[in-house]
Amino acid sequence: MAFIQCNFSSRTLQVGVSVNVLLPDPKPDQPEDYKYPTVYLLHGLSDDHTAWMRWTSLERYARNKEVAIVMPAVNRSFYTDMVGGYPYWTFVSEELLDVTRAMFPLSRKREETFAAGLSMGGYGAFKLALRRPDLFAAAASLSGALDIANKPNWGRDFAYIFGEGSTVPPEDDLLKLAEQVAAGEGPKPKLFQACGTEDFLYEANQAFLQHARSLKLDLHYEEGPGNHNWEYWDKYIGRVLDWLPV
């Protein structure tokens, strides 16, 4: 595979941004206009776009999957248009897709566009799929922060993202978004959820799981011994790539 470190100026954020990309090696008989199925792979709260390549065997797991992987940097934004920061939701859900598809041979088809992530990135991946089911066919969350409306102890992060003393708006609440998708007549994404039983976000994952099951969403769930760490995520990112419909 090719590993590409990409930097460009974001019109949405009005600042330079960094994105890492994994691309499969082209085959000799591959059509010139071939476009790869793509996973937009999101980092956690204390990580950046380099974390997946540094702490997992992602490239080895993806080597025979014929899928491109795009890893953006979004700081501590929770993939949200921040009240006291930058419009990272708009960047990830709109500009990132447009720019990377223009730069690299990435599919524009919904059925070949996926999201995945860990912790904060698990939240972001599910938000992409549930808020934009017209764009994303499937999403995977590993140890995701899936029930943020209950105001976990983020301190200043919560105030920067949503505003001091505010509540999470419906468009950023995964439980509310799941209800909208379930009740709507549009496309419904497939979901993969996994969380270790020793993870501090286990209860939040159980809350989302039970809610999604009550709505009869297409959700595949796995759990087992594991904590909020790279040993767990390294194991499960391979499972996610096996599960994706590519």
Q: State mean pLDDT over 218-242.
A: 97
Cα distances (Å, whole numbers) of residue 75 to 5, 114, 197, 230: 17, 21, 27, 19
How would residue 235 be classed by pLDDT, with cut points 50, 70 and 90? very high
pLDDT at 94 over 80: yes
> 144-158: per-residue pLDDT in tens?
999 988 765 677 888
Query: Structurally, what CATH architecture does the domain formed by 2-243 represent?
Result: 3-Layer(aba) Sandwich (3.40)
- Specify whether the backbone of 152 is left (phi greater than 0), alpha (psi in -120 to 50) or beta: beta
> 18-36: per-residue pLDDT in tens?
999 999 999 889 898 999 9
What one-letter code names the amino acid at 176?
A: K
HEC-encoded secondary structure of the chain: CEEEEEEEEECCCCEEEEEEEEECCCCCCCCCCCCECEEEEECCCCCCCCHHHHHCCHHHHHCCCCCEEEEECCCCCCCCECCCCCEHHHHHHHHHHHHHHHHCCECCCHHHEEEEEECHHHHHHHHHHHHCCCCCCEEEEECCCCCHHHCCCCCHHHHHHHCCCCCCCHHHCHHHHHHHHHHCCCCCCEEEEEEECCCCCHHHHHHHHHHHHHCCCCEEEEEECCCCCHHHHHHHHHHHHHHCCC
Please give the model's pTM, rounded to 2 decimal places. 0.96
Q: Who's near 13: CB < 8 A, 6+ residues apart?
A: 86, 87, 88, 91
Residue carrying the six token digits 């949405």: 12
Q: What is the spatial distance between Cα 115 and Cα 121, in angstroms, rounded to a whole number?
A: 9
Q: State mean pLDDT over 5-10.
A: 98
> 116-140: per-residue pLDDT in tens?
999 999 999 999 999 999 999 999 9
- Specify whether the backbone of 14 is left (phi greater than 0), alpha (psi in -120 to 50) or beta: left
What number of other Cβ atoms are within 10 A of residue 164's Cβ? 10
Q: What letters, b where the CB count within 10 A reaches 16 and e where it falls short, cover 87-120?
A: bbbebbbebbbebbbeebbbbeebebbbbbbbbb
Q: Report yes or no: 214 and 185 within 8 Å, Cβ to Cβ.
A: no
End-to-end CA distance of the chain: 17
| Percentage of residues of the chain with pLDDT beyond 90 | 88
> 105-120: per-residue pLDDT in tens?
999 999 999 999 999 9
> What average pLDDT is seen over the chain?
95
